[in-house]
Chain A
Amino acid sequence: MEDEQLRTYAEINKRIESKTVSVMTAEEFKTKVAGEGLAKAAKDVDVVTTGTFGAMCSSGVLLNFGHSDPPIKMQKVWLDDIPSYTGLAAVDAYLGATELDDNLNMFHGGAHVIEDLVRGKPVKLKSVAYGTDCYPKREFESWISLKTVNQAVLFNPRNCYQNYAVATNGSNKVIYTYMGKLLSDFGNATYCSAGEISPLLNDPFFRTVGIGTRIFLGGAQGYVAWEGTQFNGKPLRSPNGTPRRPAGTLAVIGDLKKMSSDYLRALTMQKYGTSLSVGIGIPIPILDLEMAKFCSVRDADIFTAAFDYSETKRARTVLREVNYSELKSGEIEIKGKRVPTSSLSSIYKARQISNELKKWISKGQFVIQEPIQKFDLEREVKPLEVRTKEACK
């Protein structure tokens, strides 16, 4: 009965185009299921919108500056003093969110330049080259902005983690990590998934999210380009299907020129580095009862593991498992101690995104794209070891 189809992508999109679609945010849908039951909610609702807004380090912008006269084959590029990767064609460069300048100034890294670009600010482009017969120019300096460049494509190899760890610190000194400032002696704990409203926790087996899925990305429409790096399709799972550890990830792509600083923000994780907070919203079509069931999952039934981040080895010991209802309550217990919790991702913004996406769909501005290809859930994560040449064969 669970796989009995309630509606197809084509039917949903027809209803979106005629503005008769029934769309709810994940929070609204869960409340409806709790009040009216799963079958009724599944029958009434076509699409559920989700959202997340958190630090996503594996992010960056692919730029094409246009050609100078005389032309230059840019060998090295700096944007507001931040180096950008140019091992591409003559005037293409990739600016990564975590890139720092030579002084390791963590208050102004690649992410800050990306935010400045999105805000419409001019950015100083500096380039040097070795000069060729066809690209004779050896130096170039100018101002650029999103208006002047040919393309500015946000292309993030790993975003939108399906669940993530909880970080705490059992050592006797404060540590600064990518999970934020962690006070000594389990003084605090940080988590970074929006829990029940986070996109991929509402589609744990990637039934409706795959290559080609249209998404809300940084305030504009973007797409899932590929599976994200470090994708783990076989995590430890709860009976409801949700992973109990960091699992699937997404590579996403979209036009930076259409995005907004409301949903794309530079971050400084002090004494760690820079990162980009990316706003992502994914619509989940309620194709059948099973999808409705997935979207009805609550914080209390989504688990993750807490780790001691002062342990500096690859596989840290699990301190305990904890659910998102406990995490969002503001306090969890670790080793008999009440430990205050902080969310690294903005649940406020995540809710805003799911509401915005709902609006787009209701107004007929955003149609649902069926995945062109599904992800391979057999994929597991490999570690990096020191190996001999022979061991790589």
Chain B
Amino acid sequence: MKTKYLLTFPNEAAEEPITYRLVKDFDIKCNILRAQIDEKGGRMVLELDGPGDMIKKGIQFLKSKKVDVSAIKEGLRKDEEKCTQCGVCVSICPVGALFLDKKTWKIIFDENRCVVCGLCIDACPTTALELLL
């Protein structure tokens, strides 16, 4: 089971090596997609891959460390009304989550592949792409 989570942690939790603990104690594959830390604490987009019960335990551990955890169902939204299917975003996306369907020439967004990096946001000429984090 592979799911993306948004972790928000307070200042005091910033020093805890949480990804190390998730790997070591819960055998969860962690993929850090985004991380941002400032004086108020930090935010991290983390993809967790492992058996459902272990992920559940891992999340309980994070919560015990005062880290707020929420599953990301939708990290990026493509507004189909605004999108003109030009394709500017296609060569910007580093993971192929935005790609061209060669049959219809429409731009397809694959949520599963998206790493919520946000590189596409300021490339879109019709502001059809919105980061939901």
Contact = CB atoms under 8 A, between A and B. Distances in A.
Interface residues on A, range: 20 to 34
B122 A181 contact: yes
A188 B96 CA distance: 13
B86 A344 contact: yes
A340 B91 contact: yes
Interface string B75-106: 00000000011111111100000001000111
Contacts of B85: 346-349
A144 to B, nearest CB: 25
A181 B90 contact: no
A342 B126 CA distance: 15
At the interface, is chain A mostly helix, strand, loop or mixed? strand
A189 B106 CA distance: 19
Nearest to A343: B87
Given A181-B123, A348-B85, A342 B91 contact: yes
B69 to A, nearest CB: 32
B100 A330 contact: yes
Contacts of A268: 125-127
A328 to B, nearest CB: 8
Contacts of A55: 125
A198 to B, nearest CB: 14
Contacts of A180: 88, 123, 125
Question: Looking at A183, A339, A343, which has the most chain B CB atoms within 10 Å of its CB?
Answer: A343
A190 B88 contact: yes
A277 B87 CA distance: 14
A129 interface: no
A270 interface: yes
Interface string A162-192: 0000000000000010001101000011100
Given A271-B122, A275-B125, A277-B86, 5 more contacts: A190-B91, A267-B125, A339-B91, A342-B92, A351-B105
The 10 tightest CB contacts between A and B, nearest first, are A188-B91, A342-B91, A348-B85, A340-B91, A181-B123, A267-B125, A348-B105, A347-B105, A346-B86, A343-B87
Interface of B: 84-92, 100, 104-107, 122-123, 125-127
6 contacts: A189-B91, A265-B84, A266-B126, A275-B125, A344-B88, A346-B87
